[in-house]
Structure 1
Amino acid sequence: MLILGFYYLINKTIDTIRPQYLETVEESINDTSNVLSSLIEVDLQKKNTPITDKVLQKSIRDNLFPVLAKAKSRKFQAKIYSFTKTQVDIQVYATDKNGIVIFDSEGFREGLDYSKFNDVHLTLQDKYGARSSLIKAGEDSSALFIASPIRFNQSIVGVITVIKPKDNIAVFIDLAKAKFYQASIYVAIFIAILFLILVLITLRPISKLSRYVKGIRNQEKIQFPKINIPEIRLLGQEMDRLIEELDGKKYIENYTQTLTHELKSPLSSIIASSELLESDLPMNKQLSLISNIQTEGKRIQEIIDRLLDLASLENNKNINLKEEINIKNTIEDCINSCEPELTKKRIQVISKLENKFILGNIFYFRLTIMNLLKNAIDFTKQNGKIQISLEEKSNKTWELIIWNESTPIEPYALEKIFDRFYSMPRPDTGRKSSGLGLSLVKQVCSIHGFKIEIQNENSGVQAKIIFPIS
């Protein structure tokens, strides 16, 4: 189909070469015809006698015959591209206002009635006159006939027609076609080579990817191949992730084991406390055990709630991310919600916020701020500080920074800070959280196209959310 399409295009283009050449030649002949008729008009204006057919004929003969005769007798060598021109080949004839030929550079047309021919007929009607016909009846040679009027006192008194044989034009057309055919063959070869190279470049990484998938299917330990084409490499990586998710055994196993481990500790504590309550214990001891059961029960509840939040986020593929969010109002609302915890630890919150707006999901954005703020409160020292600021950067981004005064995080812990179920002991109680809050925060940021960073900064810990300016 590609070859047929290319062949069709070439033929269509070649079909336009002839008319384009003829149009160019016609434009030049039209200029010549108007120059000659203007020459006669200037001569007629010099005469003081009325303009009769004989006066017109004499003027044309006197002005055109010597020039045309001299031009036709000239011999020269004009190298026009690949064609060598040796003589003038144009012909000229003139008619009176009735269309009767009164002058002919070749001599065989004088006295003939040309009033029916388009070049003369249309020109006498003050229209553009032209035709393509045989030069002489019974001959094969054709020509372009281009006419222009001879005017005197705003009236058309005659017509001059310039004739250009097509024989020489055909030479140029054939040369142009030959050159175009040659160029088309070169282009076709180049395209074919380029297409072959592109096919090889494309098929090679696809073949690597195919072997990799086959190895995975055969449960072979095989490394992901090196692929230089970004789009195919990305496709392979996505396929790799899809295979990993569909396989899913390792993920489910780790998820189940970690969840079981996290629930095992509070459940064991609850069971032990309930068994001790069956024995005869002092009231203060009983109250301590009841408080422990409540605390561990809340911890289980928190793990379940966070898991439900994560499940909701992972399964909801149609989250509305076009809601207008006022960052300042959302953060202040979260601070107000955490007022009891802040008051209990006597934490001072310093905020530097402006009324800036972004597009996203209000519910999940607030959930993200609440998680980061509660995390900051948990690890901030008694009578410590939390600083919240919103800064516009030069790279067309905003940075929302939540800094809290606390002990720096160990480097090994920073690497795992966003892992599910990973949690560090709170400095006040020594207890761990569900370890799902920051995992949820990272997932929300990923869905919104934000970037989340947590790092040690200025004798404390800083959480930074980077998002584009709307």
Structure 2
Amino acid sequence: MKIGLRILLGYFLIVGLSAWFLLNVAVDEVKPGVRASQEDTLVDTAHLLAEMAAPDVKGGALTEIAPRMREYARRSVTARINGIAKQHLDYRVYITDARGIVLFDTTGADVGKDYSRWNDVYLTLRGKYGVRSTRSDPNNENSTVMHVAAPILDPADRSRIIGVLTVAKPNASVQAFIERGQRIIMRWGIALLVLSLLVGIAFAWWLARALRRLMDYVADVEAGRKAALPRLGNNEIATLGQALEAMRSRLEGKEYAERLMHTLAHELKSPIAAIQVSAELLQEPMPDGERQRFLANILEQNTRQKQLIDKLLALVRVEQQQRLEQAAPVELRALCAAVAGDFAGALAARGVRLAMGDAGGDGDGKAGSGPGLDAGADAVPLVVEGDALLLRQALGNLLDNAIGFAPVGSVIRILPERRDGQAVIAVCDSGPGIPAYAQERLFERFYSLPRPDGAKSTGLGLPFVREVAALHGGEVKVANARRGGCCAELVLPLPLAL
């Protein structure tokens, strides 16, 4: 299971359990909270009415309080409380004497009955807080009625209880408020839970995306591909990425330097040995012709060393470069024309002609399928995003190879074209082609094939082209053409707008 999904599930489990617990507690507390508030109101009301009823109970006739209570019971009301309609009054009031016998009942049903056994009356007559909750219908648990009693005190002797006044109210009268509160809590609780889930998804997505980008970077580094540290923001993951990048740079730099020094020392042995032998022979007396031949050999080997070092330094720069610092539009047909101008002297010296057009077919039969630069000045521009100097050097290396292997009097063709949504520059010669044994080693550093004139290159041209192509998100292909010779293709991505 991916880490992002694990984080999301863990987060949602914690939030879900917490929300479930809090919602249950909140919903369960609504009912007792409302009923406690109702009981508090009944206590105040009972004591107020008990004080008002005391003179009548003391006098033995409820001439003042009873008519007013009956009028209260007959009242109608129209009210809307917090969105809930109230259309009748719910208080029931009854008064008992000191023995618990009902003297008055707003319902008129229980006058004369003995209520001394009910907790509200029983406890109040003994100086305690009297309250009870009793079902009006024994078979219906929602028919409970709360009874709160207050002692009726003798006006002349406040320490003597002469009766009990009880105010009763059905719990069902506040049930609508309880349910409304529970619905609101549930609705907001679910909304907060959904919001928390969305926040968790967003956080898990962000974390998984950052880790995935970092893992892609690590995979590219492990595979030896060019990879630039992705933008990870300003957080701990970015700090980890920077630490990995710094560690990678140090390790790769050390390994690269060791490998470079080893290969450079190996490749410089031959020209240094040749120079050493020629210099030692020059110390001996010899004819002028021989002396000039050895001097020419020293100059040739020195030139070879300089070319080797220059090309190796250029290769080192592109190998160590992980991304293009400043990419700009490069028109490939103009680039081909510029490279052709760079090699005009080499082409003339070799006796080879350069044609900007049909490449004559490459290894897969696709080269030459489009118009060349000489097809007309109105050809559609072929533009890529990249480094013009590096592309010019890379294309120059391909053309230099083609010149080295092209027979005298032959034609080298360069074809820039759009193919399968990519830009392709094919450089094709009509030379001997690539032997089967060499096809797997073409991009090895310092590996080269002997040219028809006996010369040998540094073996760094194609590795350089491959690195430049990788920097531009492309690739280089080299294969034998169907009509003979060799075709090298520099494949580059086109901008999306094209």
TM-score w.r.t. length of structure 2: 0.51
Instruction: Tell me the secondary structure at the aligned position of residue 455 of structure 1.
Output: strand
Give the drift of 1:167.
Answer: 7.0
Where does residue 454 of structure 1 map in the other structure?
478
Where does residue 266 of structure 2 map in the other structure?
261
2:327 is aligned, of 317, 322, 328, to 322
- In the superposition, relative to structure 1, how do residues 239 and 329 fare at CA in structure 2: closer, same or farther (>3 Å)? closer
Aligned letter for 1:307? L
Aligned letter for 2:16? F
Give the drift of 1:245.
Answer: 8.6
- In the superposition, relative to structure 1, how do residues 14 and 346 fare at CA in structure 2: closer, same or farther (>3 Å)? farther
Aligned letter for 2:396? M
Does the alignment pair 1:431 with 2:455? yes
Q: Deviations over 1:86-137 (max 9, x none)?
A: xxxxxxxxxxxxxxxxxxxxx974xx6x5xx459xxxxxxxxxx94144422
Does the alignment pair 1:413 with 2:438? yes
- In the superposition, relative to structure 1, how do residues 249 and 272 fare at CA in structure 2: closer, same or farther (>3 Å)? same
Does the alignment pair 1:371 with 2:397? yes
Where does residue 331 of structure 1 map in the other structure?
336
Q: Deviations over 1:441-465 (max 9, x none)?
A: 1111111101111111130111111
1:284 is aligned, of 272, 281, 289, to 289
2:412 is aligned, of 367, 374, 386, to 386
Q: Deviations over 1:25-48 (max 9, x none)?
A: xxxxxxxxxxxxxxxxxxxxxxxx
2:15 is aligned, of 1, 5, 28, to 5
Aligned letter for 1:400? I
Where does residue 493 of structure 2 map in the other structure?
468
Q: Distance in 2 between matches of 1:277 and 1:431?
A: 24
Give the drift of 1:282.
Answer: 2.4
Give the drift of 1:174.
Answer: 9.1
Give the drift of 1:240.
Answer: 7.3
- In the superposition, relative to structure 1, how do residues 138 and 172 fare at CA in structure 2: closer, same or farther (>3 Å)? closer
- In the superposition, relative to structure 1, how do residues 247 and 324 fare at CA in structure 2: closer, same or farther (>3 Å)? closer
Q: How does 1:62-461 map to 2 (within 5 A)?
A: 109=76, 114=78, 117=79, 131-138=83-90, 235=218, 238-239=221-222, 246=251, 255-316=260-321, 319-351=324-356, 352-353=372-373, 354=379, 355-393=381-419, 395-428=420-453, 430-458=454-482, 459-461=484-486
Instruction: Tell me the secondary structure at the aligned position of residue 405 of structure 1.
Output: coil
Give the drift of 1:356.
Answer: 1.6
Judge conservation of contact 1:320–1:360 (CA < 8 Å) in 2: no
Q: Distance in 1 between matches of 2:276 and 2:355?
A: 43
Q: Distance in 2 between matches of 1:461 and 1:289?
A: 36
Judge conservation of contact 1:321–1:359 (CA < 8 Å) in 2: no
Give the drift of 1:316.
Answer: 4.3
Aligned letter for 2:476? I
- In the superposition, relative to structure 1, how do residues 237 and 448 fare at CA in structure 2: closer, same or farther (>3 Å)? closer
Judge conservation of contact 1:348–1:383 (CA < 8 Å) in 2: yes
Q: Distance in 2 between matches of 1:357 and 1:16?
A: 66
Q: Distance in 2 between matches of 1:361 and 1:237?
A: 22
Moved more, 237-246 or 288-297: 237-246
Give the drift of 1:363.
Answer: 1.3
Instruction: Tell me the secondary structure at the aligned position of residue 456 of structure 2.
Output: coil
Instruction: Tell me the secondary structure at the aligned position of residue 382 of structure 1.
Output: coil
Judge conservation of contact 2:324–2:386 (CA < 8 Å) in 1: no
Give the drift of 1:274.
Answer: 1.9
Judge conservation of contact 2:476–2:491 (CA < 8 Å) in 1: yes
Q: Deviations over 1:134-173 (max 9, x none)?
A: 44222699xxxxxxxxxxxxxxxxxxxxxxx997999999
Give the drift of 1:438.
Answer: 1.1
Give the drift of 1:314.
Answer: 3.4
Judge conservation of contact 1:321–1:448 (CA < 8 Å) in 2: no
- In the superposition, relative to structure 1, how do residues 454 and 15 fare at CA in structure 2: closer, same or farther (>3 Å)? farther
Equivalences, count: 306
Q: Deviations over 1:395-432 (max 9, x none)?
A: 3112211111111211221211111111111211x232
Instruction: Tell me the secondary structure at the aligned position of residue 407 of structure 1.
Output: coil
Judge conservation of contact 2:414–2:427 (CA < 8 Å) in 1: yes
Q: Distance in 2 between matches of 1:398 and 1:342?
A: 25
Q: Deviations over 1:347-396 (max 9, x none)?
A: 11111234321110111111101111111111111111111112222x31
Flag structure 2 segments of 5+ consecutive residues without an equivalent: 1-10, 28-73, 93-141, 143-172, 225-246, 357-371, 374-378
Give the drift of 1:303.
Answer: 0.7
Aligned letter for 2:266? H
Give the drift of 1:290.
Answer: 1.8
Superposed CA RMSD in Å reads: 4.7
Judge conservation of contact 2:274–2:301 (CA < 8 Å) in 1: yes
Q: Distance in 2 between matches of 1:385 and 1:440?
A: 25
Structure of higher CA gyration radius: 2
- In the superposition, relative to structure 1, how do residues 249 and 132 fare at CA in structure 2: closer, same or farther (>3 Å)? closer
Q: Distance in 1 between matches of 2:268 and 2:83?
A: 100
Aligned letter for 2:411? K
Q: Distance in 2 between matches of 1:236 and 1:369?
A: 30
- In the superposition, relative to structure 1, how do residues 408 and 335 fare at CA in structure 2: closer, same or farther (>3 Å)? same
- In the superposition, relative to structure 1, how do residues 318 and 230 fare at CA in structure 2: closer, same or farther (>3 Å)? closer
- In the superposition, relative to structure 1, how do residues 308 and 237 fare at CA in structure 2: closer, same or farther (>3 Å)? closer
Give the drift of 1:276.
Answer: 2.2
Aligned letter for 2:264? L
Aligned letter for 2:318? L
Higher relative contact order (CA 8 A, sep 6+): 2
Judge conservation of contact 2:384–2:423 (CA < 8 Å) in 1: no
Aligned letter for 1:328? R
Aligned letter for 1:136? H
Give the drift of 1:262.
Answer: 1.6
Q: Distance in 2 between matches of 1:456 and 1:386?
A: 14
